[in-house]
A and B are shown apart, each in its own frame.
Chain A
Amino acid sequence: MSDALLALESVEKSYPAPGGALRVLHGVSLSVGAGQSLAVVGPSGSGKSTLLGLMAGLERPSAGRLRWRGRDLSPLSEDGLASWRRESVGFVFQSHRLVSVLSALENVLLPLELAGVAPGEARERAAAVLSALGLAARLDHRPSQLSGGEQQRVAIARAYVHAPPLILADEPTGALDADTASAVLDSLLRLNAEKGSALVLVTHNSEAAGRLSRRVTLSGGRVA
């Protein structure tokens, strides 16, 4: 466990609901090591996305702990978690989640700018990642001017551009047609292999899950 990049220890998550608290996760424990790839699968409502949100520090567990390289994340404030995320996590959402008023390049620049990377270097790195994903000609296009697959590849570039040790991807191909989804997944795995980040991929797609080194199945909020 001590080699783990991110470890979840007996994590629980409940939400208030009209009939009493709704428990979504029940004592989940798992860990991701550096460079590992982990698929999280399970039926709808099993708690996959909630688990990913907890791993990203976007939500706090109702009980249990998260440790990052052995350090407990619970004492961190919201801004402290944001700062940790900035340095350590890349996120790919089901829908691309690009800022509509920014161009492809500007969207990818965001994590680097947040991290305080010098503008020239940031631009170079962002353009390089976008080029690696076949988007060299689309740098100045706004999200509305890109296809769904292109938008998702921009989102992948944004997740990887600052070389975070952990990439969290929440069904990144869920909103795409089969051919596009396959191409996007190829891009994601190729880039992940090149960068050596740990990857946690939430997916319904068993074929996609099969391409990752580990698989965790969630059922009813528990690791099956």
Chain B
Amino acid sequence: MTRLAARLIRRRWARLLFLSACLAAGSAFLAAGDILLAALGGAVASRARDILGADLELSSARPFGPAVDAALAGLTAGGARATSVTAFSTMLSAEGPAGVPRLASVRAVEPGYPLRGTVDTEPPGAIARLFTGDACLLDAAAARQHGAKPGSRVRLGALTLTVAGVVTRESGRTLNRFQLAPRVYMARALVERSGLARFGARIKHERLIALPPSREPESAARAAAAGLEARLADPYLSVTAFSDAEPTTRQALGRLTNYFTMVSLVTFLLGAGAMASGLAAFLDEELETAAVLRCLGLTGPQTRSLYRTLCLFVGLQAGVLGALGGWALAAAALAFLRRGFGLELPASAGLDPRAAAEAVLLAAACAWAVSEAKVRALAGVPPLEVLRERAERLPPTPRGTAALLAAAAAAVYAYVLWKTSSADTARWFTAAVTGTSAALTLGCLASLRAVAAAARRPGLPLAVRLGLISLARRPARSLPFLFTLAAGFGLLGALDLVRHSLAKELAAGRAAERPELFLVDVQRAQLDAVRGLARRWGRGEPAFAPLIRARLAAVNGVAPARRPVDGLGQEGRARQRMLLREFNLTYADALNPSETLRAGAFWGPGEQAGLASLEEGFAKRTGLKLGDRLVFDVQGRPVSAVVASLRAVDWLAMRPNFFVVLPTAVLEKAPQHHIGSLTVRDPVRSAASTASEAALPRDSARSDAFRRALAEAAPNVSVIDAGEALDQVSEVLAVLLAALKGLAWFCVAVGLLVLAGALALGSRERRADAALLRALGAGTRLLVGADSTAFAAAGLSTFVLGAGAAYGLGALLAARLDVAFAPDAPGLAALLASALLLPPAVGLGASAPAYRAAPLETLRREE
């Protein structure tokens, strides 16, 4: 049997290779995603100690008390080393009147820092000079911003510091390109003199610990972290082992995993559909061979086994091709990320045996699943029926198809859940895939009916009629490529619509009337002065809101517990992170213009009761709902509040907004500072500005002048440029969407492959039809005209269905990403123009041999 199978495989190798190729593209993307993300995850893990600069970090917004010192004394007695870091954001400027204060992220360190990894500087070893005078180190971005070099002088709060060197490289830091504030190092001993460490400043106190050498440093760090956490039991204290560091990078990696898994899976599913239809056609054609083999003594089970082997071979071949392709893709992507973004990543991706095995097993299982019903049908057809030409095709297998579709939906759900650890994502993706598939199938059927109806219209030229009929009356052949192409173009269009919607939202965030500067850490006593400056230099009324730090002590009487993250899904981890972190509360007695009430009732002025209003996205992610009783620990005092309303917030209105709002009377007396936002730029001032405004410098010069005045009056207040932040977000999103669109183009390529495959599978019939029409007197023009009509109709159907799918999917994706869906019909039409052109180009190219074939020879072969 094996020999017979091998012989059949040798004879049909080209056909089987094509069927494998359909699945291999998707399989390659899944494998590439696995390999790439494993490499990225590995890079984060291997550099986690360097990123943290230690094995263990204790951090708190409050200065550490004696309990921490006592706990650390125990560790250092056992051979551990410890050092302290004070980290905060503030404004840095070059010395002199021309210097413009800009946001900087300060790390005030002690000798010995970092405990792990290195900080390389130019000139080398400059970090040691931090502790010999009023000196600092700037990273390259800060040096560029302020035109500083070693020896330059910069101002930071009340300090004037000499730049001892420029940081050229920090271990691990190049993994994370997204940074709002350039980094500055200075000695911790200078913090007090800077005048920036006053109450309310957003200071992070850190204790870094390097544990004694251990054979298993990861588990040793985790054990030490757990021990410290249990011993200190302080909700305001965070203990992080290096293996759990960089939650933002890990979270970003998690999101990347989600996106790439989903788009790759769509490619895989389209390929699987293509392979399924190809295998069905292949098994149809094998009917006669199987019948002859049955007549020669092959039993039904042996026939099943023979063709099952062939189908499994297709899957295994696809898996192997996919694993190798994935390896190559991952290597190319790593090289791109290294060169294009300067990320510290492995030079090459290893062929991860787990990813390879997964690709092969998945492809083989897929090939088996999509062919099993047909293989059984093939073995079940009585051979004489075939030989007497009473059975020319395999009987339909509606039960098998229904079971296959149900199993496919379940498998998709399970796979996405496994890969993303997010039941919500898995549910959403499965619903989106099944819904889109059902809608596209109905759309394709409707489109074929429309084509059939068009073919019946009187007066059509013969070539047109024949072309339309050949498309409409071969649904088994037309449906797979129409579906695959429409899905591919639909996905491509949907991603483009999401990109357009995001760009529009981000542009709205940068719109002239939106505030572009955020002021952080404005002390109560400074509020009037800062507001005055904002009014003087800004346009319109600046918005200020109080900010009160708090922790959530209980929800409905139960304190939120920290559970090991390994046992939590993605949503569970996000929920835990949100509930346990420090909250920024505010108080107000009315909604601001960027807020909309979604549920419940917002209180009125003078409300004394403990009520809370939650932002609806926050409520959804944390699982909090109307009526929940919350207790906040506000600087040591419990504040109770019942969730009374849910609000929608337009975050891109660029004004101070908060997840949690309480009535003024409840929080007014709590220790607080303020944040504010204002508009400085003035692109339309010419007509509207007053005489006093016209005397002011414009745009960036005006913004710089405001920063200088603010630094003079309130040196502790940080200014965040929202435009710069949005630019960074735009840059990251553009790269991500470009990569996803690249994958979507592969979906289109799979569709074209299916079209070419459908033509190749039907080439015998097409040649016979062409030869027959020639025998009846048809010329080449008629044959080409008929095919052109068929492929043009297919292109038009693809365009219409693709556009419909793009709108539907785009709206779904936008809703999922909390982006306002902004349809862009002209942009979409331009993008999908290729849907009109590619099917005719590929179709006519694949049909050319039929036009050249000698008719008599073809007809004889068919006898």
* A and B held together in a complex: yes
Q: Are A85 and B777 in contact (CB under 8 A)?
A: yes
Render B744-782 as a binary contact track against A, CB cut-off 8 A, 1 for contact: 000000000000000000000100110011111111111
A100 within 8 Å of B by Cβ?
yes
B339 within 8 Å of A by Cβ?
no
**Residues of A close to B773: CB separation below 8 A:** 99, 110
- Main SS class of interface, B: helix
**Residues of B close to A160: CB separation below 8 A:** none
Closest beta carbon of chain A to B779's beta carbon, Å: 4
- A53 touching B856 in the complex, CB below 8 Å, given contacts A87-B777, A94-B863: yes
B473 within 8 Å of A by Cβ?
yes
Q: Are B780 and A78 in contact (CB under 8 A)?
A: yes
- A111 touching B859 in the complex, CB below 8 Å, given contacts A59-B854, A79-B781: no
CA distance A179 to B862 in the complex (A): 24
Q: Are A82 and B774 in contact (CB under 8 A)?
A: yes
B11 within 8 Å of A by Cβ?
no
Q: Are A102 and B469 in contact (CB under 8 A)?
A: yes
Q: Are B776 and A91 in contact (CB under 8 A)?
A: yes
- A113 touching B462 in the complex, CB below 8 Å, given contacts A78-B780, A82-B778, A99-B772: yes
B392 within 8 Å of A by Cβ?
yes
Look across to chain B and name the residue whose beta carbon is closest to the beta carbon of A142: B473
A144 within 8 Å of B by Cβ?
yes
Q: Are B777 and A111 in contact (CB under 8 A)?
A: yes
Render B769-798 as a binary contact track against A, CB cut-off 8 A, 1 for contact: 100111111111110000000000000000
B855 within 8 Å of A by Cβ?
yes
Q: Which positions 283-300 of chain B face chain A at CB distance < 8 Å?
A: none
Look across to chain B and name the residue whose beta carbon is closest to the beta carbon of A78: B780
Look across to chain B and name the residue whose beta carbon is closest to the beta carbon of A116: B462
* Contact of A114 (CB < 8 Å), options: B777, B856, B859: B777
**Residues of B close to A58: CB separation below 8 A:** 774-775, 854-856, 859
Closest beta carbon of chain A to B288's beta carbon, Å: 15
CA distance A113 to B776 in the complex (A): 11
B193 within 8 Å of A by Cβ?
no
How many chain A residues touch B (CB < 8 A): the figure is: 33
**Residues of B close to A101: CB separation below 8 A:** 469-470, 473-474
**Residues of B close to A131: CB separation below 8 A:** none
CA distance A198 to B344 in the complex (A): 85
Q: Are B782 and A114 in contact (CB under 8 A)?
A: yes
Render B827-859 as a binary contact track against A, CB cut-off 8 A, 1 for contact: 000000000000000000000000000111001
Closest beta carbon of chain A to B249's beta carbon, Å: 58
Q: Are A56 and B778 in contact (CB under 8 A)?
A: no
CA distance A89 to B859 in the complex (A): 17
Q: Which positions 35-68 of chain A face chain B at CB distance < 8 Å?
A: 49, 53, 56, 58-59
Q: Are B775 and A114 in contact (CB under 8 A)?
A: no
Q: Are A91 and B779 in contact (CB under 8 A)?
A: no
**Residues of A close to B469: CB separation below 8 A:** 101-102, 106
B458 within 8 Å of A by Cβ?
yes
CA distance A99 to B779 in the complex (A): 17
CA distance A119 to B465 in the complex (A): 12
Q: Are A111 and B473 in contact (CB under 8 A)?
A: no
Q: Are B769 and A99 in contact (CB under 8 A)?
A: yes
Render A97-126 as a binary contact track against B, CB cut-off 8 A, 1 for contact: 101111000100011011100010000000
**Residues of A close to B473: CB separation below 8 A:** 101
Q: Are B781 and A91 in contact (CB under 8 A)?
A: no
CA distance A23 to B97 in the complex (A): 102
**Residues of A close to B765: CB separation below 8 A:** 100
**Residues of B close to A14: CB separation below 8 A:** none
**Residues of B close to A97: CB separation below 8 A:** 768, 772, 775, 859, 862
Q: Are A144 and B392 in contact (CB under 8 A)?
A: yes
Chain B interface size, under 10 / 10 to 19 / 20 to 34 / 35 or more: 20 to 34
Closest beta carbon of chain A to B785's beta carbon, Å: 12
**Residues of B close to A94: CB separation below 8 A:** 863
Q: Are B392 and A95 in contact (CB under 8 A)?
A: no
**Residues of B close to A158: CB separation below 8 A:** 776
Q: Are A83 and B776 in contact (CB under 8 A)?
A: no
Q: Are A86 and B856 in contact (CB under 8 A)?
A: no
Q: Are B777 and A82 in contact (CB under 8 A)?
A: yes
Q: Are B775 and A86 in contact (CB under 8 A)?
A: no
- A79 touching B860 in the complex, CB below 8 Å, given contacts A58-B774, A101-B469: no
CA distance A97 to B469 in the complex (A): 17
Q: Which positions 69-99 of chain A face chain B at CB distance < 8 Å?
A: 78-79, 82-87, 89, 91, 93-95, 97, 99
Q: Are A79 and B474 in contact (CB under 8 A)?
A: no
* Contact of A49 (CB < 8 Å), options: B769, B855, B860: B860
**Residues of A close to B782: CB separation below 8 A:** 114
Closest beta carbon of chain B to A181's beta carbon, Å: 16
* Contact of A56 (CB < 8 Å), options: B459, B474, B775: B775
Q: Which positions 621-649 of chain B face chain A at CB distance < 8 Å?
A: none
Look across to chain B and name the residue whose beta carbon is closest to the beta carbon of A111: B776
CA distance A144 to B859 in the complex (A): 19
Look across to chain B and name the residue whose beta carbon is closest to the beta carbon of A59: B856
CA distance A89 to B773 in the complex (A): 13
CA distance A87 to B777 in the complex (A): 8
Closest beta carbon of chain A to B305's beta carbon, Å: 31
**Residues of B close to A56: CB separation below 8 A:** 775, 856
Q: Are A119 and B856 in contact (CB under 8 A)?
A: no
Q: Are A83 and B779 in contact (CB under 8 A)?
A: yes
CA distance A116 to B392 in the complex (A): 34
**Residues of A close to B854: CB separation below 8 A:** 58-59
CA distance A115 to B232 in the complex (A): 97
Q: Are A114 and B780 in contact (CB under 8 A)?
A: no
**Residues of B close to A53: CB separation below 8 A:** 856
* Contact of A85 (CB < 8 Å), options: B389, B462, B775, B781: B775
- The 4 closest A-B CB pairs, nearest first, are A86-B777, A101-B473, A58-B856, A79-B779
User: Which residues does A use to contact B, with CB under 8 Å?
Assistant: 49, 53, 56, 58-59, 78-79, 82-87, 89, 91, 93-95, 97, 99-102, 106, 110-111, 113-115, 119, 144, 148, 158
8 A-B interface contacts by CB (under 8 A)? A58-B774, A93-B775, A93-B859, A94-B863, A95-B862, A99-B773, A114-B782, A158-B776
What 12 new A-B contacts, CB under 8 Å, besides A58-B855, A119-B459? Answer: A56-B775, A56-B856, A58-B775, A58-B854, A83-B779, A84-B777, A86-B777, A97-B768, A99-B769, A113-B462, A115-B777, A144-B392
